[in-house]
Structure formats: C-alpha cells, structure tokens
Amino acid sequence: MEKKIRNIHIIINPGSGKEKSILPVINTFMQAAGIRWEASITHKAGDAIRLTRTASRNKLDAIAVYGGDGTVTEVVNGLVGTEIPLIILPGGSANVIANELGIPWNLKEACALISQNPLRTRNIDVGQLNNRYFIAGISIGFGADLIKGAKREAKSKFGILAYFFSLFTAMQKLKLTIYHLKVDGVSHEVSGITCIVANAGNLGFTKVSLDKHIDICDGLLDIVIVRKADLKLLKLIAITLIKRRRPDNFELVKHLQGKEISISSNHKQIIQCDGEILENLPLHIKIVPGAIRVLIPGKYNKIIAQTSLEPNCQDKGIFFDSLNIS
C-alpha cells in the first residue's frame, strides 16, 4: 500500500488546455485534501525536464504535471532514476498517456486520484532513444508526417481533428520504404509506408488503440509496420475507429515485439518521437522496464488477451499478463 500524499510539486505548462483557469481548481482541491503544493511554470521546450530535476531534489511525495504528452514526456525524462511517483493532470489535445492508464481528462477528477484511498500506482515502461526517454512511441515515415502536419495552433483549436486535416498532406508524401530492423538480435526486412515503435498503444482518441497487444507494463516495445496504403487500409482504419480496436490483418500490418531495436531504411525518412521531430535513421531503441511509477485510478484493470502476434512471426514467447492491480 502506498503512503498518503502530503507534499507535491506541480510542473505546469501554461500553454496547455483550452482557455480555462486551472489554478483555482487545483488550489481548492489541495486545500480540501490538506496537501502542501508548489508549482513551476514552463516557458519553452526543455523547461519541464530541468524543473523536474530541480524539484526532485526536495523531499516530495510526488511530482505532478499539468500539460499535454510533450510536457509529460519531459517530466518523465527528469524523473527516470528517481523513486518519485508521477501524477498526470491531462491538459493536452490528445493525452495519450492519460488515456492509456485510464486517467480522467477532467482536472477535478484527475486531482481526486491524489487522495483516493487506497492510492494506486503502476510502474510503467519507458523507451530509450540515445539519451532521451519516450513514453508513447516513435513513428517513421507516414506516421511521423501525420504528427508533424498537425500544427500546435490547429491542435489547440480543433483538438484531435487537427490530425485529420494533416492526413491529407501526409497522404501526398506517401513513399514505400524498405525498413531494415534488428529486433533482439534477429534481422527483419519489411517494406511499408510507416514503421511505428510503440510503448503505449493509445492513439489519442479515448480508448482507440493501435493494437490490442500493446501493453505499457510488459517490458516490451511493439513494432508495427503498415505495409501499404490502399482501400483495404482505409477500411482497416474505419473498423479500428468504429470498434475502437484494430482487428488483426497480417497482409496489411507486420507486428513484432522486442526489448532492443535498431532501424534503418533505404530512403531518408522523417521521424517523430513523442511528438517531437528528430534526427535521421538509423535509430537504436531500447526499453527501460517499469522506469516510472504513475498514480492511476483504482478501477484501472486492463486485461490483455493472450494471443500470438502473427502465425509466422518471431514469437518471443510473451505471456500477456493481465495487469491486475496489486
């Protein structure tokens, strides 16, 4: 059982959220719950990492972050290696990590997790690319173009719809690429329009997952390569959105899992890592299992089906454990 939270530091991205004042909501909650809190405000990229590192030197029961996935990722980068639990107060347009863990988007409800009795936390994996950590994932090619095209202004105005506008531009840049992968020592060569390395499966729409096998606590990264863009793919996307879960389609999607992954390609490719556009291939990626402890709702009890990925794929003998809360 977790000890009660009495003293926290909140990293706030003031650019997040939709023109509502968050401080009165936070203050009212903290006062009622008897929690001592301090806050730091970010002004530019990188601030949240630095502020988290500074705050973590103090005696704290937890560090909270109010912001979107970008700010959450920065705070995670500042927290890895410490034992301090993370509280996520979602303030972005997609909030992938919050969705993945069942954390409510409503600020009052998210704050309420801090005083729930008993407290629930979950150790989640983070991915590591060179000296940076990521939580959601990396996409290469089409998937990265899609995220790059959804500009910040459009996202704060239209939310998740900004990605649909970006889809049109990204479709025009589609290019079939050969991806050379090394997954836990085994080589694979797969051609496709995008290669995604996912730690979290959530796509930003509540409960829509890139793949039902993706589990943020299983110590494995999931590699999903979309082989081609045609009508079948559009149908697959439509079914995924309607059913809120992607059905298996091995003709369209290649799926692998592993702990250490290298990727190179025959074409120069655009890459995004947790929303940030990055340097060139090759990429060397690995997983850091259970690196961050996050406060989660008590009712979170995601059960993952125990099924194999693909009949002919390199099966790592993964057992998809149910994520029972201990």
CB of 224 to Mg ion, least distance (A): 12
CB of 216 to Mg ion, least distance (A): 6
- Residues linked to residue 40 through DSSP beta bridges, in sequence order: 11
Of the pair 122, 148, the CB lying nearest Mg ion is at 122
Q: Is 114 in the site for Mg ion (CB under 5 A)?
A: no
Q: Is 218 in the site for Mg ion (CB under 5 A)?
A: yes
Q: Which stretch binds Mg ion (CB under 5 A): 42-50, 141-149, 212-220, 289-297?
A: 212-220
Q: Is 211 in the site for Mg ion (CB under 5 A)?
A: no
Q: Is 124 in the site for Mg ion (CB under 5 A)?
A: no
Helix, strand, coil percentages (3-state) for the chain, rounded to 5, are 25, 30, 45
DSSP 8-class letter at 182: E
d(C-alpha 239, C-alpha 227), whole Å: 17
Cβ burial, residue 44 (10 Å; 0-12/13-18/19+): exposed
Kindly state the number of chain residues that form the binding site for Mg ion, as judged by CB under 5 A.
3
CB of 3 to Mg ion, least distance (A): 28
Of the pair 78, 201, the CB lying nearest Mg ion is at 201
DSSP 8-class letter at 266: S
Structure tokens at 199: 């730690």
Of the pair 35, 292, the CB lying nearest Mg ion is at 292
CA distances for 70 relative to 95, 118, 221, 286, angstroms = 9, 29, 19, 20
The helix/strand/coil state of 76 is helix
Q: Is 220 in the site for Mg ion (CB under 5 A)?
A: yes
CB of 218 to Mg ion, least distance (A): 4
CB of 101 to Mg ion, least distance (A): 13
CB of 253 to Mg ion, least distance (A): 17
DSSP 8-class letter at 248: P
d(C-alpha 300, C-alpha 295), whole Å: 11
Of the pair 162, 220, the CB lying nearest Mg ion is at 220
**Interacting residue ranges for Mg ion, rule: CB under 5 A:** 215, 218, 220
